[in-house]
Amino acid sequence: MNRSNLPETSVMYRALVDRDPSFEGIFVVGVKTTGIFCRPTCPARKPNLENTEYFANVKEALALGYRPCKSCHPMELYGQPPAWLKPLLAEVDRDPSLRLKDADLRARGIDPARIRRWFKKHHGMTFQAYLRSRRLNEAFGRIRHAGKVIDSAFDIGYDSLSGFNEAFKKATGFVPSRSAQQNVVIVTRILSPLGPLFAGATDDGICLLEFTDRRMLETQITRLRKLLGAEFMPGRNEHFDNLDAQLGEYFAGTRRRFDLPLVMPGTDFQRMTWEQLRSIPYGQTRSYREQAVAVGNPNAVRAVARANGDNRIAIIVPCHRVIGTDGSLTGYGGGLWRKRFLLDLERGVTGKTGLI
């Protein structure tokens, strides 16, 4: 296990004993004597230090055979910003031009090392990098909608146009004056009971939805960047609120079909395969061979499997509904435990996996 982003064991154990909410999202703890893993704030009786094992995320705990605690429900919205961080994120949302030094964070009662660690873990960037991206994304939106470069630069707090141009190009790969012609994929994090999802959208619709711990995520981003001729930037997109709402309804068991515009560039065969995935009814499955027949080529079982693996929009384009001919669960980039969860959810089976 990679512990490079975790605090010292003594610090985590003290947080567990104190039920310290500021450590929510930083670690989960496995209890060796029970085989259960918990949040730092779990109300259950605390184990002895020698009986605890610490993990950076739910996936690591599950991989070693731990089961989620029924008292603190660590699977529910794992990765949600902890209470100590929410006011600061709200402040940034109100003013994307905000600049905060370590001293400013300490003045707000926030340890700069802790917020840096949280952002590196959940966003893959430091908090300062996040602030820079928000400022640049705000400027991009203004420029793209006919704003003047120099006005946008000064409005978001840059002291010189040259400094703004340099920072903007470093972050996006193009100069501000080309913003109106440049395609951009806006990305964000969507929470789910199975862990956070990395979502991407253009003006035309959702183009990316992957679990943040999927190994193929960086490859998918690279491919999308090339296919769409686009750069990736964090921020807001009009499609994200609808995506978040519909995913919430899906996991609550009240939505069976998604009604979202999708952007799915690929080969003719890939697009045909992905459309056939969307035709598999909720609560049902199809074998890879049946999927090959559906796309009109019964001998293309392996090609269908590759196209399924290249699907960039999890859950909505339901590649989890394709299984082995013998009924086995195979080939899901988000992990077979997630595939089992999704299929059980759609079949109305609760409690069978121990996750719902």
Q: Which residues are catalytic?
A: 38, 319
CA distance 220 to 55: 26
Residue pair 322/47 in contact (Cβ under 8 Å)? The answer is no
The upper half-sphere exposure of residue 170, i.e. CA atoms within 13 Å in the direction of its Cβ, equals 9
Q: How many CB atoms lie within 10 A of CB 35?
A: 11
What are the backbone dihedrals phi and psi of residue 148, each rounded to the nearest 5 degrees, phi first? -85, 140
Tokens 């529910």 correspond to what residue?
76
Residue pair 31/47 in contact (Cβ under 8 Å)? The answer is yes
| Residue 50, SS3 per DSSP | helix
Q: Return the ∠ at Cα 63 (arms to 7 and 283), rounded to 5°.
A: 125
CA distance 167 to 342: 42
What one-letter code names the amino acid at 327?
A: G
Q: Return the ∠ at Cα 120 (arms to 117 and 124), rounded to 5°.
A: 175
Tokens 């994090």 correspond to what residue?
189
Residue pair 202/228 in contact (Cβ under 8 Å)? The answer is yes
